[in-house]
Amino acid sequence: MVRALRHSANAPPQVASGSMALTVVGSIAYDSVRTPFGHRERMLGGAATHFALAASFFDEVRAVGPVGDDFTDADLAILATRGTSTDDVERVAGGETFFWAGEYGWDLNSRDTLETRLGVFETFEPKLSDASRDADTVFLANIQPDIQQAVRDQCTNARFVAMDSMDLWIDIAKESLEKVISSVDCVILNDAELRQLTRKPNLVAAAREVLSWGPKAVVGKQGEYGAALFTKDGFFSLPAYPLENVIDPTGAGDTFAGGFVGYVAAHTDQEINHDLLVRAMAYGTALASFNVEEFGTERVARLAPREVLVRVAELERITRFTDVPLELRG
């Protein structure tokens, strides 16, 4: 299953045959995070940032999102790691970059939001260049559903569109959210959000319900327990990569999405079927495991392709059991 990534650690990405890059629309932010293992003040974060750092291993990424005057050139350079285009990053004069502060409990499964300042994100209206609109692959990160729909409507050439959302939009904009879901190819939500969205009692029933609305695939993120893929052709699940030291889970879900969607983006010249999405799950899972090893973008920003390939191969080894003889009494 292991396939070579598309570029070396220091070279710009080599776009796949027939590919016209990958566009991500979402937040570019500063995060202040405290965990039992340390803390960081105003570190680079945001859904579009974490997604782009992971997806850039596979294809050219174009990031679309707003920042304020306080956003530094050094952080813009981190976003541009591995050749990500920042041409559509809008710097709003006099504005403040989206800011979030949170604290995690001892097991990192519980999180308290201490402060949220939307800043320039509050009035965000995505401005897509022709290149961003023409992308073969699009990821609609967690933003207001009507904005997601406006972006989706502009990207008429996309062969694969995936999206994320959150409990807030399920509560206050469910009708708009369902409309967006019906217009995309893949929905990536955590298991609790899928159950909340569909009012179904378990992940399998919830995912099947969402598939009936139009998407070709649903991915249920399950945190430290991994992720599950549902398509009309089958089901696949991977555990999270086993780690002894987890430092900060901030951005892990967006990193997973970046690896998953990035792999698809690099293969849009092929049929996007269940088997291809299964392989994408492995890369998303591996990349997410690196994200949590350090704070924020620190680990993924300096990650080398070889490290990713080794971890994908290890995931394949530890989840394989088909050669075990079936032995039952009676």
For 80-116, how does the pLDDT look when each residue is reduced to its tens digit (9 = 90+)? 999 999 999 999 999 999 999 999 998 888 889 999 9
Is residue 9, in this structure, part of any structural domain at all? Answer: no
User: pLDDT tens for residues 156-211?
Assistant: 999 999 999 999 999 999 999 999 999 999 999 999 999 999 999 999 999 999 99
Q: What is the pLDDT of residue 42?
A: 96
Q: What is the pLDDT of residue 12?
A: 39
Q: Does 3 score more than 60 pLDDT?
A: no
Residue range of the domain that includes 240: 22-318
Question: β-strands 137-140, 186-190: how paired?
Answer: unpaired
User: Residue 181 belongs to a domain with what CATH number?
Assistant: 3.40.1190.20
- Lowest-pLDDT range of 4-8, 113-117, 191-195, 256-260: 4-8
* Total count of domains within the chain: 1
How much is the pTM?
Answer: 0.93
Mean pLDDT value across residues 302-308: 97
Give the C-alpha separation, 30 to 202, whole Å. 34
Is residue 329, in this structure, part of any structural domain at all? Answer: no
Is residue 269, in this structure, part of any structural domain at all? Answer: yes
Is residue 273, in this structure, part of any structural domain at all? Answer: yes
Q: Does 288 score more than 70 pLDDT?
A: yes
Residue 68 phi, psi (nearest 5): -100, -175
Both tokens of residue 263?
A: 């792999």
Q: What is the average pLDDT value for the chain, to the nearest integer?
A: 92
DSSP string for residues in 267-278: TTTS---HHHHH
Least Cα distance to 241 among 158, 138, 180, 311 occurs for: 311
Both tokens of residue 45?
A: 């974060």
CA distances from 247 to 206, 252, 282 (A): 31, 11, 21
Both tokens of residue 298?
A: 């620190």
DSSP state of 241: P
Q: What is the pLDDT of residue 6?
A: 60
Both tokens of residue 230?
A: 């549902």
Is residue 8, in this structure, part of any structural domain at all? Answer: no
Q: Does 8 score more than 80 pLDDT?
A: no
User: pLDDT tens for residues 318-329?
Assistant: 998 777 677 777
CA distances from 72 to 1, 76, 301 (A): 40, 6, 16
Q: What is the pLDDT of residue 74?
A: 97
User: pLDDT tens for residues 29-56?
Assistant: 999 999 999 999 999 999 999 999 999 9
Is residue 56, in this structure, part of any structural domain at all? Answer: yes
Q: Under the phi-then-psi rule, with left for phi > 0, alpha for psi from -120 to 50, and beta for the rest, what region is 144?
A: beta
Is residue 5, in this structure, part of any structural domain at all? Answer: no
What are the CB-based long-range contacts (under 8 Å, 24+) for 144-147?
144/169, 144/173, 144/176, 145/169, 145/173, 145/176, 145/177, 145/179, 145/180, 146/173, 146/176, 147/25
Least Cα distance to 276 among 286, 289, 291, 266 occurs for: 266
Is residue 274, in this structure, part of any structural domain at all? Answer: yes
Give the C-alpha separation, 196 to 193, whole Å. 5
Q: What is the pLDDT of residue 9?
A: 38
User: pLDDT tens for residues 226-253?
Assistant: 999 999 999 999 999 999 999 999 999 9
CA atoms within a 13 Å half-sphere pointing along the CA-CB vector of 106: 0
User: pLDDT tens for residues 116-153?
Assistant: 999 999 999 999 999 999 999 999 999 999 999 999 99
CA distances from 280 to 2, 8, 136, 231, 259 (A): 11, 19, 16, 13, 7
Report angle CA 132, 287, 61 to the nearest 5 degrees.
10
- Residues 190 and 157: beta-carbon distance below 8 Å: no
